[in-house]
Structure 1
Amino acid sequence: MINSIRIRVFVIFILIFSLFTALFSGYFILQGENYIKIHLISISIFIISLIPHIFLRKKRVLKLLKESFKKNSKNKKYDFHNSLDNLSLNSLSNLIKKLNLDKKRVEKVLKDINFDFKNFDDTLQDIADNNDFQPQKLFIIIIEDHLKNITKEK
């Protein structure tokens, strides 16, 4: 990484130096001085040093693009929000069975926060939508209460 940064800084320095040299020699040519060789040399150095600059920049951009696509493909399956969204599509009774929750305690938690639900076969999404609430927050509230209950028992 350090070598790459040093190379980039060196190439950028050469670009800036050759550009200013070309500008000053062009100014002196307009004034009638004989700086044509310096002008041509500085412009050719500028053009030649543009090639590694463009290559390094392109290489860096391609590397960033590849990394961004790799991260998306790896983390897509394990994304926290996707997992919560999938949990909200399960029925409440199914979540109680899977997570080994106490049915009475879950009912008490829902009544404490003034939730209106008819049966445990409704999904978290349906229960949350009926009560103008987000299903992910509802799930977190239920799990939080369950964890408090576990710590009290110990």
Structure 2
Amino acid sequence: MNNVRVQTGDFDLGLEVARLREGDARVGAVVAFVGTVRDLNDGAQVAAMELEHYPGMTEKALDDIAAQAAARWPLFATLVIHRVGPLLPLDQIVLVAVTAAHRGDAFAACEFIMDYLKTEAPFWKKEDTPDGARWVDARVTDDTARARWQAR
């Protein structure tokens, strides 16, 4: 079961993970990743950040990424929640959570989803810094992280 949501509002990690594994006695592992807004990026203070997306296209891309993970590992459930709109340092941006019978599959799938999300999902990030607003470019390290999954 894949569940993908793009939303402006915050999420409750404990509640979302509880819902994901609720009533499924097969689950032996739950792995979750939460990404948050930092107050420093590329050497500049970040006062705020805004995430933009293309509705419909973004959800489809996230669902495709989750489906790729489910095709690689024996997962029971996958959850991806990504926030958009204005965010402040310490705010939660993204939750990726997966359930599986074993931890190895769950850890690998969660990391795979994040690596692909950072490079394949259509989000645009703008940061407010002391020098003004700036769009954040993709990182080479994100491409490198994704590329290691292609070799497998």
Coarse TM-score class (shorter-chain normalised): under 0.3
TM-score under structure 1 length normalisation? 0.25
- Structure 2 length as normaliser, TM-score? 0.25
Please identify the structure whose Cα radius of gyration is greater.
1
Higher helix share: 1
